[in-house]
Structure 1
Amino acid sequence: MRALIVIDFTNDFVDGSLPVGQPGIDIAPRVSELTTSFVENGDFVVMAVDLHEENDPYHPETKLFPSHNLRGSAGRELYGSLKQVYEANRERIYWMDKTRYSSFCGTDLALKLRERGITELHLIGVCTDICVLHTAVDAYNLGFAITVHEDAVASFNPAGHEWALGHFRGSLGATVLKA
Structure 2
Amino acid sequence: MRLTETDVLLVIDVQNDFLPGGALAVPDGDAVIAPINRLAARAPHVILTQDWHPPGHASFHGSHPGRAPFDTASLPYGEQVLWPEHCVQGTRGAELAAELRAERAELVIRKGCHPGIDSYSAFLEADRRTRTGLAGYLAERGLTRLFLAGLATDFCVLWTALDARRAGFAVTVVEDAVRGIDLDGSLSRAWAEMERAGVGRVASSALV
**TM-score bracket for the superposition, by shorter chain length:** 0.7 to 0.9
Q: Which moved more, 1:96-105 or 1:155-164?
A: 155-164
Alpha-carbon displacement from aligned partner over 1:28-66 (angstroms, at most 9, x marks no partner): 21122122221xxxx22111111101113xx3x223001
1:130 paired residue among 155, 160, 172: 155
Aligned to 2:50: 49
1:140·1:146 contact (CA, 8 Å) conserved in 2? yes
Please say which structure displays the higher CA radius of gyration: 2
Name the CA distance, whole Å, in 2 between partners of 1:107 and 1:70. Answer: 18
Aligned to 1:118: 143
Q: In the alignment, does 2:30 pair up with 1:25?
A: yes
Instruction: Say which SS state the counterpart of residue 60 (structure 2) adopts.
Output: helix
Instruction: Say which SS state the counterpart of residue 54 (structure 2) adopts.
Output: coil
Q: Residues 94-105 of structure 1: matches in 2 within 5 Å?
A: 94-99=107-112, 100-105=119-124
Aligned to 2:166: 141
Q: How many pairs were matched up? A: 165
Aligned to 2:41: 36
Q: TM-score, structure 2 length as denominator?
A: 0.74
Name the CA distance, whole Å, in 1 between partners of 2:137 and 2:121. Answer: 15
Name the CA distance, whole Å, in 2 between partners of 1:68 and 1:19. Answer: 10
Name the CA distance, whole Å, in 2 between partners of 1:35 and 1:162. Answer: 27
Instruction: Say which SS state the counterpart of residue 17 (structure 1) adopts.
Output: coil
Q: Which ranges of 4 or more aligned residues in structure 1 deviate by more than 3 Å?
A: none
Aligned to 1:62: 60
| Letter of the structure 2 residue corresponding to residue 46 of structure 1 | I
Q: CA RMSD in A?
A: 1.6
Give the CA deviation at 1:26.
2.0
1:102·1:132 contact (CA, 8 Å) conserved in 2? yes
| Letter of the structure 2 residue corresponding to residue 69 of structure 1 | C
Structure 1 unaligned blocks of 5 or more:
none
| Letter of the structure 2 residue corresponding to residue 141 of structure 1 | R
Name the CA distance, whole Å, in 2 between partners of 1:126 and 1:33. Answer: 17
Structure number with higher helix proportion: 1
Aligned to 2:187: 161
Structure 2 unaligned blocks of 5 or more:
1-5, 62-81, 113-118, 125-130
Give the CA deviation at 1:129.
0.5
Name the CA distance, whole Å, in 1 between partners of 2:154 and 2:106. Answer: 25
Identity of matched residues, %: 35
2:134 paired residue among 80, 98, 109: 109
Residues 76, 67 of structure 1: alpha-carbon distance in 2 compared, 3 angstrom cutoff: same
